[in-house]
Amino acid sequence: MSRVVGFIDLDAYYCACEVKQKPSLLAGKPLAVCMYETWKKSPDRSADMDRIVKSGGAGLIAVSYEARAMGVKRQMSANEARKACPELITVMVPTKNGKADLSLYKENGEKVVEILQEFAGIVEKRSVDEVALDVTDAAQKLLETTPKELVARQAVNVSHFADSEISLKASKISHEAARRGHEGQHEYTKNDDDEKNHLLKYSSFDYLLLAGAVVINNARKAVRERLGFSCSAGIAANKMIAKVGCGLHKPNQQTIVFPRSVAVLLKDLPLNRLPGLGGDLGNRISSQLNITTAGGLANISRSILLNAGFQDADNLLAAANGTLDEPVKNRANYKSFGSSKTFYKHPITNLTIADQWLSNFAQEIFDRIKNDRNQRNRAPTNVTISITTDKSHVTRTEKVHIGWSDSPQPIVRSAHRLLRRWAGTRTAHLDIVVLGLGVSNFIDLPANKASVMDLLTRNPLHQSKKPSSSAEIMQPSKKKRTIAELLYQQATTSTKKTTTVGKKDSSFFPSSNIDPEVFAQLPPEIKAELLDDRTRLLRQSAPSLGNSHLEQRQVKKKKKTATTTIDSFFAPRRPR
């Protein structure tokens, strides 16, 4: 069944966050955001005023539209940019514990998602500044309550169309130019093409798209009014085309791609502007098949693609034809998060320093875990360290129990252990160029800690006085899982390690405050399952020993094979 997908991209997002912080100084100004002022160690800066830097600052990571108009481009060094635009204001990202602190942007991004959730049943957070929405239902509802001609009129008034002259011109811009905001981008002005478009006869699905465009426009308006962020959007029958459409007109504009416009839009679209083909795979396709556009790829036969070694031919062709239809995922929050830092030209040489950084990372991650946990009653169960040297890049993962713990220590200890698992016996000359730590594999926690404790304990300290929280109502967790989780927590925090299963149920949790009688009354199969869960979780949590010297691989400079699939984000999983 056809869907209506909106793809929203916040305009010059890091810049917009900074403008929100200091509107009187920054609004309407040519502005750029850079990562650090210098690569040398310097004190943390979080105050907005301290972050406006007059010198230094390496590659720009965000450029306001005012600065783009002056020729400032992303990836310029700050000094280069100042030459192009002497009035340029450069703001460095906040730093904390000696590293960039992106929480300002992340937190604002979460607020954006919250607002967008009011407008769509299915919301997929794609990155800090991108969100895909399935607005099919909302569009249908709108058409049920509003005459379709009125809906169409509203949509036309606030949207571009992909087959207009200016849209098709924008579709021919190179990938690089499009990314940095090509010339001629400006706020919306009405044009004759769009009016002509409005005179055409709409199919019933066209009306649905038009309704979706009204919904998306309302969503964008809400984001702008409540948070001050402007954004651009594309509206189409699938996520990939919606994203392509989104890129046609920025900032603060939206573009509708009717099904009948897809072919002409893709005809001259540079191949590497198709999501997933912006890297190696796209380059190989271009050079091996001597094509440069999506339209060119669409004209290649499946068998030629297969013969050239592109096993993912079907998806490639679907992408080139604009029919690749990956559903909008129902995921408004992160599946993992982490903290990392590059030590450019000053690699970490010894374990002590690495440990300190890992502790910092762990603290930062734990702060995020606490936030996330309060909102979503979940906690991660994996900790992964990531280490890059000149010669290698490796990751090491182990299980960790966080639960409702209020200390970052479990993560800190895991991180230090994982570091040693990699380093082996070596303690110096580690030469770590990039060090990172992350957590993943979230599991649901008891929605309300106290209320679950009530179930299993007679400890009056744990009896909750409040009714269940709203979080519990919104996200009821399965009782079985909940109990297993609790048992696991009890087991791993107990002072003794039990190596054998006790003969009596009541002897099972030496220092537990779980009521043995309650446990004893559980049906035998539940007991067995709980015990099984407990031992399994314990086993998983046991760190294994590694041999780092065996793991030092050469980093492969050149990869590899035409078997790589188009970016998973837009590609449906291949059937079996």
Partner DNA sequence: CATGATGACGCT
Partner DNA sequence: AGCGTCAT
Which parts of 335-354 interact with DNA (CB under 7 A)? Answer: 335-342, 344
Q: Which is nearer to DNA, 58 or 526 (CB)?
A: 58
Q: Closest separation between CB of residue 59 and DNA, Å?
A: 5
Q: Which is nearer to DNA, 247 or 446 (CB)?
A: 247
Residue from 203, 395, 427, 511 in contact with DNA (CB under 7 A): 395
Q: Is residue 129 within the footprint of DNA (CB under 7 A)? A: yes
Q: Closest separation between CB of residue 502 and DNA, Å?
A: 27
By CB under 7 A, the residues from 396 to 425 that bind DNA are 396-399
Residue 191 burial class via C-beta count within 10 angstroms: exposed 0-12, middle 13-18, buried 19 and up: middle
Selection from 410, 433, 417, 430 nearest residue 362 by Cα: 410
By CB under 7 A, the residues from 444 to 463 that bind DNA are none
Q: Closest separation between CB of residue 78 and DNA, Å?
A: 7
**Cβ neighbours, 10 Å, residue 14:** 25
Q: Closest separation between CB of residue 240 and DNA, Å?
A: 11
Q: Closest separation between CB of residue 177 and DNA, Å?
A: 13
Q: Which is nearer to DNA, 70 or 562 (CB)?
A: 562
Selection from 252, 212, 253, 219 nearest residue 235 by Cα: 212
Q: Which is nearer to DNA, 67 or 78 (CB)?
A: 78
By CB under 7 A, the residues from 223 to 262 that bind DNA are none
Q: Which is nearer to DNA, 360 or 490 (CB)?
A: 360
Residue from 2, 42, 127, 513 in contact with DNA (CB under 7 A): 127
Selection from 478, 18, 6, 456 nearest residue 254 by Cα: 6
Q: Is residue 309 within the footprint of DNA (CB under 7 A)? A: no
Distance CA 148, CA 460 (A): 61
Residue from 100, 222, 471, 522 in contact with DNA (CB under 7 A): 100
Q: Which is nearer to DNA, 189 or 561 (CB)?
A: 561
Distance CA 394, CA 385 (A): 8
Distance CA 267, CA 394 (A): 41
Residues in Cβ contact with 220 at an 8 Å cutoff, skipping those fewer than 6 apart: 8, 230, 231, 233, 252, 254
By CB under 7 A, the residues from 270 to 289 that bind DNA are 275-282
Q: Find the helix packing angle between 524-541 and 479-493, rounded to 10°.
A: 50
Q: Which is nearer to DNA, 234 or 282 (CB)?
A: 282
Q: Per-residue x/- marks for DNA, 154-193, CB under 7 A?
A: -------------------------x--------------
Selected range binding DNA among 63-71, 77-85, 131-139, 203-211, rule: CB under 7 A? 77-85
Q: Closest separation between CB of residue 11 and DNA, Å?
A: 11
By CB under 7 A, the residues from 29 to 48 that bind DNA are 35-39
Contact status, residue 198 vs residue 152, Cβ threshold 8 Å = yes
Q: Which is nearer to DNA, 278 or 424 (CB)?
A: 278
Helix ranges (H only) for 98-236 are: 103-116, 136-145, 148-158, 165-171, 175-180, 192-199, 204-227
Distance CA 293, CA 286 (A): 8
Residue from 148, 172, 329, 462 in contact with DNA (CB under 7 A): 329
Q: Closest separation between CB of residue 39 and DNA, Å?
A: 3
Q: Which is nearer to DNA, 87 or 280 (CB)?
A: 280
Torsions phi, psi for 432 (to 5 deg): -80, 120
Contact status, residue 123 vs residue 116, Cβ threshold 8 Å = yes
Distance CA 341, CA 202 (A): 52
Q: Which is nearer to DNA, 339 or 405 (CB)?
A: 339
Contact status, residue 463 vs residue 441, Cβ threshold 8 Å = no
Q: Closest separation between CB of residue 256 and DNA, Å?
A: 20
Q: Closest separation between CB of residue 334 and DNA, Å?
A: 4
By CB under 7 A, the residues from 481 to 510 that bind DNA are none
Contact status, residue 228 vs residue 249, Cβ threshold 8 Å = no
Q: Which is nearer to DNA, 321 or 564 (CB)?
A: 564
Q: How many residues bind DNA (CB under 7 A)?
A: 76
By CB under 7 A, the residues from 373 to 392 that bind DNA are 382, 384
How many CA within 13 A on the CB side of residue 81? 32
Q: Closest separation between CB of residue 138 and DNA, Å?
A: 23
Q: Are strands 99-100 and 434-444 parallel, antiparallel or unpaired?
A: unpaired
Residue from 259, 327, 516, 546 in contact with DNA (CB under 7 A): 546
Q: What are all long-range contacts of 450-457, with beta carbons under 8 Å and residues at least 24 apart?
A: 452/482, 452/483, 452/486, 453/486, 455/479, 455/483, 455/518, 456/483, 456/486, 456/514, 456/515, 456/518, 456/519, 457/513, 457/514, 457/515, 457/518
Judged by DSSP in three states, 329 sits in coil
Q: Closest separation between CB of residue 367 and DNA, Å?
A: 12
Selected range binding DNA among 97-105, 183-191, 254-262, 512-520, rule: CB under 7 A? 97-105
Handedness of CA 485, 487, 488, 489 (dihedral sign): positive
Q: Is residue 11 within the footprint of DNA (CB under 7 A)? A: no
Instruction: Output the six-digit token pair for 337.
Output: 């998060």
Residue from 42, 46, 79, 507 in contact with DNA (CB under 7 A): 79
Handedness of CA 365, 474, 1, 148 (dihedral sign): negative
User: Which amino acid is it at 90?
Assistant: T
Q: Which is nearer to DNA, 30 or 57 (CB)?
A: 57
Contact status, residue 198 vs residue 99, Cβ threshold 8 Å = no
Residue from 117, 321, 440, 498 in contact with DNA (CB under 7 A): 440
Q: Closest separation between CB of residue 457 and DNA, Å?
A: 31
Q: Which is nearer to DNA, 494 or 568 (CB)?
A: 568
User: Which amino acid is it at 547?
Assistant: N
Q: Closest separation between CB of residue 329 and DNA, Å?
A: 6
